[in-house]
């Protein structure tokens, strides 16, 4: 029986989690990156390319054309210098994303350079998983700690329809390779759509018996997915209610300040966790600890901000490190207090592939 057939069966019940207690979170790590609203910025998402080998309906148009070539994207050395300045100032966790990071041939060099930055505590990768079966051991060896794989459906046909060209078997081999390579945690990201409602329970059921962590993400409106709006939107509250009806109460895994946008829970006796990322129904702007670096070297302080701050030109300054640090310290004060997505304002964002989700 193939792996996917196993996934289709009734989920196994996980080992007893007898002494499970929620973890107390705290974010007291020193950082000089404190914005005008007192938010401590310790998390950076780096888009290493705009290109992607899939065309997910909510993310890219079917005939997506990528205007920029490899030379337009930051080189591994440029990424090291810019991320290095951010880490010196207080960034502690970095996620490499895209586009699809694994389409970059020099990704392992980027990983090695970023991982070597003193002060960095954790290096994560977001991927669609298409190249993960082949790359997982090398990514782990180069320094990736954790991985998020986008899996919007566990049905091969639906998976292909949502991604427009993805092969679920191939991606699932990637998930297994990530677990085998010791990447920890391995999270599965699923955007909540009308099209994948049948998958919500099956995805969550994976967490009962396996060390997999499923994150359901509310679909954020962008210019690319206007054709899906508003009919495709499913709230995390709806998904959660369905899951609790089927599997019982979801128990919070953390108490204390949020350390990221996801609220994480666990079913009783489950091995993995289920989380919800709710940019629309429950905004998390007040706890936002993140900034983004685009593939062409601009700092984006809010996913939905109207403007970005070019950092690449500073690499030509007589003292690039000092120039970067002073510019970053200056512009973080411009981080907007909140986004206005719920009022239908998504700034100048066309698609997440521009800035890495
Ligand atoms: N290619 C990688 C991947 O598939 O994870 C990294 C880039 S992708 C843009 C990062 C995440 O953003 C994915 O989990 C994807 O599902 C999510 N995403 C893309 N567009 C989105 C949207 N409009 N709303 C919510 N999540 C979105």
290 is a domain residue:
yes
Which residue owns the Cα nearest ligand 1 atom 25? Answer: 219
- How many A from CA of 32 to the centre of ligand 1? 29
Question: Best of 59, 223, 227, 292 to mutate for ligand 1, by most ligand atoms within 8 A of CB?
Answer: 59
Which CATH number do you get for residue 74?
3.20.20.70
Q: What is the pLDDT of residues 183-220, one digit of tens each?
A: 999 999 999 999 999 999 999 999 999 999 999 999 98
99 is a domain residue:
yes
Q: Would the CB of 96 count as within 6 Å of ligand 1?
A: no
Task: Describe the crossing of helices 197-209 and 236-247 by its angle, rounded to 10 degrees.
Answer: 50
By C-alpha distance, which of 91, 164, 89, 80 is closest to 130? Answer: 164
240 is a domain residue:
yes
In whole angstroms, what separates CA 198 from the centre of its chain?
23
Which residue owns the Cα nearest ligand 1 atom 4? Answer: 128
Question: Best of 127, 163, 191 to mutate for ligand 1, by most ligand atoms within 8 A of CB?
Answer: 191
What are the beta bridge partners of residue 43? 93, 290
**Closest-lying ligand 1 atom to the alpha carbon of residue 190:** 16
Q: Would the CB of 130 count as within 6 Å of ligand 1?
A: no
Segments of the chain with pLDDT less than 70? 1-29, 255-260, 340-357
**Prior bond of 218 cis (ω within 30°):** no
**Closest-lying ligand 1 atom to the alpha carbon of residue 152:** 16
Interatomic CA distance for residues 57 and 43, integer angstroms: 28
CA diameter of the chain:
62
In whole angstroms, what separates CA 246 from the centre of its chain?
27
Number of neighbours of residue 69 by Cβ within 10 angstroms:
8
How many residues are given for the chain?
357
Q: Would the CB of 273 count as within 6 Å of ligand 1?
A: no
11 is a domain residue:
no
9 is a domain residue:
no
- How many A from CA of 277 to the centre of ligand 1? 12
What pLDDT was estimated at residue 6? Answer: 39
Residue 107 structure tokens: 């990704």
Instruction: Give the total number of structural domains in the chain.
Output: 1
What pLDDT was estimated at residue 4? Answer: 47
What pLDDT was estimated at residue 11? Answer: 40
Q: Would the CB of 189 count as within 6 Å of ligand 1?
A: yes
12 is a domain residue:
no
140 is a domain residue:
yes
16 is a domain residue:
no
Where are any strands of DSSP class E within the chain? 23-24, 43-47, 93-97, 122-127, 146-150, 186-192, 212-218, 250-252, 254-255, 262-267, 274-277, 290-293, 298-300, 309-310
Which residue owns the Cα nearest ligand 1 atom 7? Answer: 98
Question: Best of 128, 150, 214, 293 to mutate for ligand 1, by most ligand atoms within 8 A of CB?
Answer: 150
Interatomic CA distance for residues 251 and 255, integer angstroms: 11
What pLDDT was estimated at residue 279? Answer: 79
According to DSSP, the β-strands at 254-255 and 298-300 are: unpaired
For residue 271, give its domain range.
29-354
In three state form, how does the secondary structure of 193-241 look? CHHHHHHHHHHHHHHHHCCEEEEEEECCCCHHHHHHCCCCCCCHHHHHH
Interatomic CA distance for residues 280 and 51, integer angstroms: 27
Q: Would the CB of 354 count as within 6 Å of ligand 1?
A: no
What pLDDT was estimated at residue 287? Answer: 86
């Amino acid at each position: 029986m193939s792996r996917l057939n196993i996934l289709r069966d009734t989920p196994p019940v996980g080992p007893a989690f007898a002494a499970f207690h929620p973890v107390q979170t705290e974010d007291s790590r020193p950082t000089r990156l404190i914005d005008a609203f007192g938010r401590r910025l310790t998390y950076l998402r780096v888009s290493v390319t705009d290109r992607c080998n899939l065309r997910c309906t909510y993310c890219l148009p079917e005939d997506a054309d990528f205007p920029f070539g490899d030379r337009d994207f930051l080189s591994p050395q440029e990424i090291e210098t810019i991320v290095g300045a951010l880490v010196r100032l207080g960034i502690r966790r970095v996620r490499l994303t895209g586009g699809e990071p694994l389409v970059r041939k020099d990704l392992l060099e980027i990983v090695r350079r970023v991982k070597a930055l003193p002060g960095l505590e954790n290096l994560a990768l977001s991927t669609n998983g298409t190249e993960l079966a082949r790359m997982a051991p090398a990514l782990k060896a180069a320094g990736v700690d954790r991985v998020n794989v986008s899996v919007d459906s566990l049905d091969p046909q639906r998976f292909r329809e949502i991604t427009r060209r993805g092969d679920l078997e191939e991606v699932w081999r990637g998930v297994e390779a990530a677990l085998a390579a010791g990447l920890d945690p391995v999270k599965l990201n699923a955007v909540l759509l009308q099209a994948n409602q049948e998958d919500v329970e099956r995805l969550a059921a994976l967490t009962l018996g396996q060390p997999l962590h499923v994150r359901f993400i509310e679909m954020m409106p962008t210019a690319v997915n206007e054709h899906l709006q508003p009919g495709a939107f499913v709230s995390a509250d709806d998904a959660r209610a369905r899951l609790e009806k089927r599997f019982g109460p979801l128990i919070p895994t953390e108490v204390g300040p949020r350390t990221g946008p996801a609220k994480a829970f666990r079913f009783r006796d489950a091995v993995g966790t289920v989380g919800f990322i709710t940019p629309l129904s429950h905004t998390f702007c007040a706890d936002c600890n993140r900034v983004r670096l685009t593939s062409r070297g601009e700092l984006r302080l809010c996913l939905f901000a109207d403007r970005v701050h070019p950092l690449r030109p500073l690499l030509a300054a007589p003292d690039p490190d000092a120039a970067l640090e002073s510019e970053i310290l200056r512009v973080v004060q411009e981080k907007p207090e909140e986004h206005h997505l719920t009022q239908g304002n998504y700034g100048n964002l066309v698609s997440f592939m521009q800035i890495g989700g």
